[in-house]
A and B are shown apart, each in its own frame.
Chain A
Amino acid sequence: MTSISEDSDKEKVRSVSVDLNNDASLVIDIPDALCERDKVKFTVHTKTTLSSFQKPEFSVPRQHEEFIWLHDTIVETEEYAGLIIPPAPPKPDFEGPREKMHKLGEGESSMTKEEYAKMKQELEAEYLAVFKKTVQVHEVFLQRLSSHPIFRKDRNFQIFLEYDQDLSVRRKNAKEMFGGFFKNMVKSADEVLISGVKEVDEFFEQEKTFLLDYSSKIKDASAKAEKMTRSHKNVADDYNHISGALNSTAADNNTAFKKTISVCVLQKLEDRVASDQELKLTELLRYYTRDIQAAKDLLYRRARALADNENSNKALDKARLKGKDIAQAEENQKQCLQKFDKLSESGKKELTSFKARRVVAFRKNLIEMTELEIKHAKNSVSLLQGSIEILNSN
């Protein structure tokens, strides 16, 4: 186990560069996005020095579905079986804020003007946060593709970046959806089946147990973090409501309550942001949940190849025994072996780099989160101290 971590240490430099994407030959970002109804249009902006592109700089409008299409085509490409395919970005989900917005509109009459304005502001902030997050995950997906030495050369990827018309990607129809579902079923059944196949490489054996374990843990952690964040948000919401109620109480009262107003203002600030950085942690965990799923997929593909290999070996043996179709079987076996070797090789590389990337990402996010926590706590400390002073002087 330690040797592996040392391994990853050695590769750290490279993986950092991968993660931070300071390779200037292909830089992708999403500077802007437009939200209309339930569709989000991202502006994908590319800057490149690669000769395979016609222009050094261009931007195209892309929708979420097109991202999914890109992901799917990459997954389906046989050549990439040995690579960890970056997880597709999750579907933009504006349901929460939108619903709230709706409710707000309904409740407009029952609220005071200030309350309404405040709620609206809150909602807008929340909406913006979700929006930003959505843009970010899409951006990260593209950046990971662009920073990968193989994916960046992918034809579909380049088309995705360059073609300034609608890719006319349609949503998956019901049959395809079902097909996808069926495929998943088969896959998981298959996974069980081939789990009996003896692993030949110790590295993969270890990786497999680790990833399985890790994935379940991180899934759990991510779910818990999400829960925690949600309740934190609830607390923040409560603070907001309380401050609203205090304000209106103070408006009706004179001297006695005026002071309390200052109190609540800060509380709102405090938890609003606190929940923000919790999102950072949650996001990290969530992302890696998906990433690890991708890594697991890689392992699955390799295991599949391994099983195929064994099967072809058996078939060859049989053929030899029977004395017919030997050439064909040999050919088959050779292919399988080749494929498996290739997969193993690239898989090994991918997994080590993945490990390093994960550590780096964790480090970065944990530090950021901690710093944010400290910053917010400090802010609220000073605010609290201020209002305590005011109250004391009263």
Chain B
Amino acid sequence: MALCHFYLSQMAASSERSPPPFPDSEEPELLEDSDEEADAFTGTSISEMDSPSPDSTRPPKDIFNEPPEDIFSDPLSNINSEPQKKVDAKIPSPSSDEAVDLFSDPLDDDSEVMSSPEVQNPMPDLLNEPVEAPKSDVLGEPPVHRNAARHQDVFEDPPKSSSKSSSVKKAASAEMFGDDDDEEDLFKEPPKVVTKKPQPSGPPVDVFTEVKSDVKVKPQVKDDPTDLFAEEALTAPAPKPSSGSSSSRTNGVHSEEQDLFSEATVELSLDSPCNDRKNKEAVKPSVSAPAAPVASSSSKAPSKSLEELEEEESEDKFDLNISITNPEKVGDGMNAYMAYKVSTQTSLTMFRSKTFTVRRRFSDFLGLFEKLSEKHSQNGYLIPPPPEKSILGMTKVKVGKEDPSSAEFVERRRAALERYLQRVVSHPSLLQDPDVREFLEKEELPRAVSTQALSGAGFLKMLNKATDAVSKMTIKMNEQDVWFDEKIQDVENEEQHLRKLHVMVESLVNHRKELSGNTAVFAKSVAMLGSSEDNTALSRALSQLAEVEDRIEQLHQEQASNDFFTFSELLADYIRLLGAVRGCFDQRMKAWQRWQDAENMLQKKREAEAKLLWANKPDKLQQAKDEITEWEAKVTQYEREFERISATVRKEVIRFDKEKARDFNRQVIKYLESLLHSQQQLIKYWDAFLPEAKAIV
């Protein structure tokens, strides 16, 4: 009975928990579901209680009676209160972060937990039967054990496996709305599943009840480990962003590992589309895995506050310095290209050495972008866009000898490439990408072929964009998430503002250049005037004035280039970046669309089944049922994907906002300092001139 109470309370808690952070993000259907679920929940929980509730539940039960509440109430409240607080105080960000974490690498926590010795011990004890074996395995070789554990689950309930995977997804999605502790479900699952299995469930309802059961199970399992888990869960979000931002926190490897794991889990729990990528990376991790110390997770645990995180992030920055220098023309004529020296300085262990240099050409940068966006953009990652290809500019460089405009072009591009690379590596997930590392490290890079056509492909891209725009118009996404709704609006507004601003700054640059030219002309003219002036003092003063004007002209010129490089380029960068942000939103919408389509399909299938039932055609019924399960799986998968992409996008946007604020602050200060410098020079010049003017008699 106590157990029952516990369930109920837990239920209540969880149901309460889940909606508040993102009430809107849930689809209407989902909401319904959750209601249903709630009902189902109470029902099932009771039934469970009464009925089979196998041995496994028994022993924990005792433990549960007391500790659960304490433990639960504590961690839960912690969890709830903390993230939510954050939510209130800041933006929706923290919660989203966490959510993202869960999704993008659900195993994050798990992996850490597993690899961490602390966890290992309690785990086996508490869970005794099912988990123990796999856990211990885990200790040795994380990746393997992961698989094992997962597999075990799967094996334990073969019949369910399909539905279960979906249920897991469900649960995960449910958790999305809820908190991190849900994560534990995954963990708990092994035991729970065992208990669950006996219970029969109706076909469509299955998913829900199951989901519920998962949730329910959670409490059961929770005993001592819960603390750990809860903690883990808490910490989990923290490490994510930080590791992402720099991965440097401990060392690149660790976070990487997490990713790998997360991906691996995804693979296991459902056949996600990202499999190939996962696989690729999964192979890698095993090597790096051992490096992942528990320390990181434990040390991370306390650092929950966002400020700390931010600090961490900024600290991380210093661990990877990339500079691009020495633009050099290679070859002649139209086959000529500019090669840039890309130097990296880092303390990250993921790199072979502390400093290294490679030569890259522009198309290599574009190639990197292509590769990255191919791999990551569908997951909602914000891939920093590279500078645009400029046929005109480059042709000038190719043809022209040493004229200032082409020099300016090269410098402009060099700076833009540098900023681009810095943005890439400052992105936590992208830094982990093998292609990025290869780009930075590898001596010879296979020639990026596709980019050759990229300028031509610009046309294709435009076509794509056009179709996108059309589909955007046709897809009327019913935005349920206020945060996204507002953010999308904000981003659009901001882009407009920045565009406007950019035009103005461009004109400022041009006008200042003009001014500098006119000042030069005036200086000359004053010098002439001075030479024909017959009053010696005045003549002297005038020629001095000419000199002053000459210097001022220099000043204006410098300032114009400052206007351009620190201000105008910053704006241009962010206009591009905002475009990328919108791309993320689009990806999210596409995921949503996919989900909705699947949902509709499922609906159709169910109707078909109902018809078959009514028509009493048992032979086809089985097929229809299969189809339904298939589509159910798809729906859950897509839904989960959508949730995951939403979470990722959200996290990315928040990260982007933070970076943007920092970037702007830094650049504006730099710009202001340049202005300040000019003004100080001006004072100096005029101060020097004043006695001359006074000396006129």
Contact = CB atoms under 8 A, between A and B. Distances in A.
Q: Do A and B bind each other?
A: yes
A227 B672 contact: no
Nearest to A260: B668
B686 interface: yes
A228 B669 contact: no
Interface of B: 490, 493-494, 497-498, 500-501, 504-505, 507-508, 511-512, 514-515, 517-519, 521-522, 524-526, 528-529, 532-538, 541-542, 545, 657, 660-661, 664-665, 668-669, 672-673, 675-676, 679-680, 682-683, 686-687, 689-690, 693-694, 696-697
A253 interface: yes
Contacts of B537: 359
B690 A374 contact: yes
A213 B529 CA distance: 9
B683 A5 contact: no
A351 to B, nearest CB: 11
A242 to B, nearest CB: 5
Given A221-B526, A228-B522, A235-B508, A248 B679 contact: no
A232 interface: yes
B648 to A, nearest CB: 22
Interface stretch (A173-181, A312-320, A378-386): A378-386
A206 to B, nearest CB: 9
A273 interface: no
B511 A377 contact: no
27 contacts: A2-B536, A4-B534, A210-B532, A213-B532, A220-B525, A224-B522, A227-B522, A231-B518, A235-B508, A235-B512, A245-B497, A249-B501, A263-B668, A267-B675, A359-B535, A359-B696, A370-B686, A374-B683, A374-B687, A380-B675, A381-B676, A381-B679, A381-B680, A384-B672, A388-B669, A391-B668, A392-B669
Given A270-B679, A377-B679, A378-B683, A221 B522 contact: yes
B525 A217 contact: yes
B669 A391 contact: yes
Contacts of A263: 668, 672
Contacts of A373: 682, 686
Contacts of A384: 672-673, 675-676, 679
B547 to A, nearest CB: 13
Given A224-B522, A267-B675, A245 B501 contact: yes
B534 A210 contact: yes
A371 B507 CA distance: 29
B521 A252 contact: no
A259 B498 CA distance: 16
A378 B680 CA distance: 8
How many chain A residues sit at the interface, stated as a range, is 35 or more
Interface in A46-89: none
A126 interface: no
Interface stretch (A130-138, A184-192, A296-304, A360-368): A360-368
B508 A238 contact: yes
B669 A231 contact: no
B682 A224 contact: no
Contacts of B519: 228
A345 to B, nearest CB: 21
Interface centre among B493, B511, B680 (most CB of A within 10 A): B511
A276 B697 CA distance: 26
Nearest to B666: A391
Contacts of B690: 367, 370-371, 374
A370 B683 contact: no
Contact of A388 (B501, B525, B676, B696): B676
Nearest to B490: A252
Contacts of A363: 538, 541, 693-694, 696-697
Given A245-B504, A366-B693, A391-B669, A228 B511 contact: no
Interface string A257-279: 10110010001001000000000
B529 A256 contact: no
B535 A355 contact: yes
A272 to B, nearest CB: 14
A362 B504 contact: no
A64 B675 CA distance: 43
A255 interface: yes
Considering the complex of A and B, which 4 residue pairs feature the smallest CB-CB distances, nearest first?
A: A256-B661, A238-B508, A231-B515, A363-B696
Given A249-B497, A385-B676, A391-B672, A232 B515 contact: yes
A234 interface: yes
A218 B511 contact: no
Question: Secondary structure of the B side of the interface?
Answer: helix
A42 interface: no
A1 B532 CA distance: 11
A359 B533 CA distance: 10
Contacts of B508: 235, 238-239, 242
B497 A248 contact: yes
Contact of A238 (B504, B522, B528, B680): B504
A385 to B, nearest CB: 6
A235 B679 CA distance: 15
B501 A8 contact: no
Contacts of B541: 362-363, 366
Contacts of B501: 242, 245-246, 249
A214 interface: yes
A12 interface: yes
A45 interface: no
Nearest to B669: A391
Contacts of B532: 210, 213-214, 217
A101 B505 CA distance: 24
B581 to A, nearest CB: 14
B507 A221 contact: no
A373 B519 CA distance: 15
A234 B689 contact: no
Nearest to A274: B682
A165 interface: no
Contacts of A5: 534-536
Given A239-B508, A362-B542, 18 more contacts: A221-B528, A224-B525, A231-B514, A234-B514, A242-B505, A245-B504, A267-B675, A359-B535, A359-B696, A362-B538, A362-B541, A370-B693, A374-B686, A374-B687, A381-B680, A384-B672, A384-B673, A384-B679
Contacts of B660: 256
B183 to A, nearest CB: 31
Contacts of B679: 270, 377-378, 380-381, 384
Contacts of B493: 252
A378 B515 CA distance: 21
A234 B511 contact: yes
B515 A234 contact: yes
A377 B508 CA distance: 19
Contacts of B672: 263, 384, 387-388, 391
Nearest to B528: A217
Given A370-B686, A370-B690, A373-B682, A394 B665 contact: yes
A267 B674 CA distance: 13
Contact of B529 (A221, A231, A253, A371): A221
Contacts of B507: 238, 241
A235 B511 contact: yes
A200 to B, nearest CB: 21
A326 interface: no
A160 B354 CA distance: 88
Contacts of A234: 511, 514-515
A26 interface: no
A294 interface: no
B521 A259 contact: no
Nearest to B502: A245
Contacts of B498: 249
Interface string A113-142: 000000000000000000000000000000
A381 B677 CA distance: 8
Nearest to A217: B529
Contacts of A255: 661
Contacts of A241: 504, 507
A223 B521 CA distance: 10
B510 to A, nearest CB: 9
